[in-house]
Amino acid sequence: MPIICAYTVPHPPLAVPQVGRGREDGIESTLAAYRTVAREVAGLCPETIVISSPHAPLYRDYLQISSGPSASGTFAQFNAPRPVYEVVYDEAFVKALAKAAEAEALDAGCEGRQTRELDHGTLVPLHFLKEAWGEVHGEGAGARPFPKVVRIGLSGLSPLEHYRLGELIQRTARELGRRVVYIASGDCSHKLTEDGPYGFAPEGPVFEHELENWLADADFLGLLTCDPELAERAAECGLRSFQIMAGALDRTSVEAEVLSHEGPFGVGYLVSRLQPAGVEGADGDRAFAERYDEAEAERMRERLVHEGVLCSLARASIEAYVRGRERIEPADVLDAILEEKGGDAEKRAALEELLERPAACFVSLKEHGQLRGCIGTLAPTKADLAHEICGNAISAACADPRFPHVRADELGELVLDVDVLSEPEPVDFLTDLDPAVYGVIVSAADGRRGVLLPDLAGVDTVEEQVAIAARKGGIDPRSERLFLERFTVERHL
Q: Based on the domain organization, do 236 and 357 belong to the same domain?
A: no
What digits encode the pLDDT tens for the residues 178-230? 999 999 999 999 999 998 888 899 999 999 999 999 999 999 999 999 999 89
Q: Does a structural domain hold residue 99? A: yes
Q: Beta-carbon neighbour count of residue 43 at 10 Å?
A: 10
Q: Does a structural domain hold residue 321? A: yes
Looking from the CA of 137 toward its CB, the CA atoms found within 13 Å total 23
The number of folded domains in the chain is 3
| pLDDT score at 373 | 95
Distances (CA, A) of 358 to 38, 332, 334, 385: 63, 19, 17, 5
CA distance 210 to 252: 22
Q: Based on the domain organization, do 194 and 341 belong to the same domain?
A: no
Backbone φ and ψ for 396, nearest 5 degrees, come out as: -60, -35
Band of pLDDT at residue 351, cut at 50, 70 and 90: confident
Q: Beta-carbon neighbour count of residue 270 at 10 Å?
A: 25
Tell me which amino acid residue 207 is: F
Last residue of a domain, one of 295, 324, 342: 295
What digits encode the pLDDT tens for the residues 429-449? 899 999 999 999 999 999 999
Residue 251 Rama label (left phi>0; alpha psi -120 to 50; beta): left
Domain boundaries, position 455: 422-493
Per-range mean pLDDT, top range of 61-65, 301-305, 331-335: 61-65
Band of pLDDT at residue 282, cut at 50, 70 and 90: confident
CA distance 298 to 31: 41
Over pLDDT 70: what percentage of the chain?
99
What CATH number is given to the structural domain containing 258?
Answer: 3.40.830.10
CA distance 331 to 380: 19
CA distance 43 to 51: 18
Characterize the bridge pairing of strands 108-109 and 63-64.
Answer: parallel
CA distance 413 to 92: 36
Last residue of a domain, one of 387, 413, 439: 413
Q: Beta-carbon neighbour count of residue 477 at 10 Å?
A: 17
| pLDDT score at 347 | 72
Q: Residues with Cβ < 8 Å from 405, sequence gap 6 or more?
A: 322, 397, 398
Q: At what angle do helices 330-341 and 309-324 cross, to 10 degrees?
A: 130
More confident residue, 336 or 28: 28
Q: Based on the domain organization, do 70 and 189 belong to the same domain?
A: yes
Band of pLDDT at residue 340, cut at 50, 70 and 90: confident
Q: Based on the domain organization, do 329 and 476 belong to the same domain?
A: no
Q: Based on the domain organization, do 268 and 330 belong to the same domain?
A: no
Band of pLDDT at residue 354, cut at 50, 70 and 90: confident
Mean pLDDT of the chain: 94
Peptide bond into 83 cis (omega under 30): yes
pLDDT at 96 over 70: yes
DSSP SS3 for 151: strand
Q: Does a structural domain hold residue 302? A: no
Whether the CB-CB separation of 186 and 10 falls below 8 Å is answered with yes
| pLDDT score at 348 | 77
CA distance 202 to 233: 8
Q: At what angle do helices 345-356 and 309-324 cross, to 10 degrees?
A: 60
| pLDDT score at 370 | 84
| pLDDT score at 278 | 76
What digits encode the pLDDT tens for the residues 242-252? 999 999 999 99
CA distance 136 to 134: 6
What CATH number is given to the structural domain containing 325?
Answer: 3.30.700.20
DSSP SS3 for 179: coil
Q: Based on the domain organization, do 409 and 475 belong to the same domain?
A: no
CA distance 201 to 236: 11
Q: Based on the domain organization, do 36 and 82 belong to the same domain?
A: yes
Of the candidates 307, 281, 18, 325, the one whose C-alpha atom is nearest the C-alpha of residue 175 is: 281
Q: Residues with Cβ < 8 Å from 290, sequence gap 6 or more?
A: none
Over pLDDT 90: what percentage of the chain?
81
Q: Based on the domain organization, do 407 and 430 belong to the same domain?
A: no
- Mean pLDDT calculated for residue range 21-49: 95
Q: Does a structural domain hold residue 444? A: yes
DSSP 381-417: -SSSHHHHHHHHHHHHHHT-TTSPPPPGGGGGGEEEE
pLDDT at 83 over 90: yes
Helical residues (DSSP H) of 107-202, grouped into ranges: 120-137, 159-176
Q: Does a structural domain hold residue 250? A: yes
Tell me which amino acid residue 339 is: E
- Mean pLDDT calculated for residue range 36-55: 98
pLDDT at 456 over 70: yes
Characterize the bridge pairing of strands 148-153 and 48-53.
Answer: parallel
Band of pLDDT at residue 352, cut at 50, 70 and 90: confident
**Strands of the sheet with 483-487, listed across from one edge:** 425-427, 483-487, 439-443, 449-452
What CATH number is given to the structural domain containing 479?
Answer: 3.30.1490.150
CA distance 469 to 476: 10
Q: Does a structural domain hold residue 45? A: yes
CA distance 397 to 400: 7
Last residue of a domain, one of 350, 381, 413: 413
Q: Based on the domain organization, do 89 and 237 belong to the same domain?
A: yes
Band of pLDDT at residue 1, cut at 50, 70 and 90: low
pLDDT at 18 over 80: yes
| pLDDT score at 478 | 84
Residue 261 Rama label (left phi>0; alpha psi -120 to 50; beta): beta
Q: Based on the domain organization, do 280 and 315 belong to the same domain?
A: no
Q: Residues with Cβ < 8 Å from 253, sequence gap 6 or more?
A: 276, 277, 278, 282, 283, 286
Q: Based on the domain organization, do 393 and 461 belong to the same domain?
A: no
Tell me which amino acid residue 303 is: R
Q: Does a structural domain hold residue 301? A: no
Q: Beta-carbon neighbour count of residue 335 at 10 Å?
A: 10
Q: Based on the domain organization, do 20 and 143 belong to the same domain?
A: yes
Q: Does a structural domain hold residue 49? A: yes
| pLDDT score at 339 | 82
